[in-house]
Amino acid sequence: MYDVIIVGGGLAGLVNAILLARSGFEVALFEKNSYPFHRVCGEYISNEVKPFLIRNGLFPTDLNPTEISKFKLTSTNGKRAELPLKMGGFGFSRFAFDHFLFQQAQAAGVTILQNHKVTAIEFENDEFQIIANRQSYQSKLVIGAYGKRSMLDKSRKFMNKKSPYLGVKYHVKIDLPIDEIALHNFQNGYCGISQVENNTFNLCYLSHRDNLKNKSIDEMETTTLYENPFLKSIWDNADFVFEKPEVINEISFEKKELIHNHILMCGDTAGMITPLCGNGMAIAIRSAKLLSDLIILEWNKGNFNRHQIEEKYRMHWHQNFSSRLWTGRQIQKLFGSKWSSNLAVELIKNQWVGNGIIRLTHGHPF
């Protein structure tokens, strides 16, 4: 029996686990993989979360994070715009950053069950029963932090609408500006590239599945991504670190139920901002801080009230993230075609407009 069980060991799951365990909670975290491992992710984090990470000993300075202060945008046919990032950000691979947070969670006393895939979450008599690897575990609260899409989501409404997007990620060695994050459009998709640790760049793109019809990923890249001269240059000049890319299918940006069957969803499980906004990692971290603070506050009142936690979480989530996610969905309409991506480039060339768009998808430092 645990106070809190967390399903999923990404950023949202690990940060929740660390903060709750440090506050005296008995916490178990279930992760279906074994650390360290790669995830499909843009691996750029805005500086809005940096004060929080430093304050809580969760900023891995030893990894020598890349400081990113510039943004470049290109259209499908290679027109470009550049913009300074007022807030800026930094780059870590999920391989390194998640592993660092995993070690911090272990030090905080979290019970971490690696290679444990949760297959069922049941709520009855005001407590949860979790089934993982054919064993049963109980808790008072469950946090769902298992990522973009899972079989555990089969009864959630957003699963009824099939998503047309897949994500592909590589790590590459290439001579590019280390202080810049670039976003390159191609037909029905866009690709981000920025530096992480060890002089390595993360190269991650989102594509509509129509691009992949009757093609391999390699064929899609040479026929579709190469139409953008910046992307062709990257592929021609980069040394690819991975033997094969990390791939994830059916990435959904639909609205998701924040609380389902009393499970408190967090990070991408609660809602995904479109990758072109470059702020999913920051939202995952911020949402974990928001949720764990609320649980600690309500728990310490001595009279546990599940309804209060759920209602306050809905309110705080809406205040912090609803408009950012909505803005991201609207901005995405400006990407993935020649006409709209050229329009986006022209908008970004106006720094007042460009900074305004970035401001709408980012939060304040905390």
- State the DSSP code for 322: I
Any domain includes 168:
yes
Question: What is the domain-level CATH number for residue 234?
Answer: 3.50.50.60
What pLDDT sits at residue 42? 93
> What's the structural domain count of the chain?
1
In this prediction, residue 88 has a pLDDT band, given cuts at 50, 70 and 90, of very high
Distance CA 271, CA 147 (A): 9
Element spanning 181, H or E: strand 180-186
- Kindly state the tokens that stand for 88: 């800026």
**pLDDT tens profile 194-233:** 999 999 999 999 999 999 998 999 999 999 999 999 999 9
Long-range contacts of 59-64 (CB under 8 A, 24+ apart): 60/92, 60/96, 60/97, 60/100, 63/92, 63/96, 63/97, 63/100, 63/197, 64/197
pLDDT above 90 covers a percentage of the chain that reads: 75
Any domain includes 366:
no
Element spanning 97, H or E: helix 94-108
Q: Which residue has the higher pLDDT, 34 or 329?
A: 34
**Is it true that the peptide bond before 36 is cis, omega within 30 degrees of 0?**
yes
Average pLDDT of span 5-14: 98
- pLDDT over 70 at 54, yes or no: yes
Average pLDDT of span 301-308: 89
Any domain includes 322:
yes
Residue 226's SS3 state is helix
For residue 51, give its domain range.
Answer: 2-361
In this prediction, residue 276 has a pLDDT band, given cuts at 50, 70 and 90, of low
Beta bridge partners of 62: none
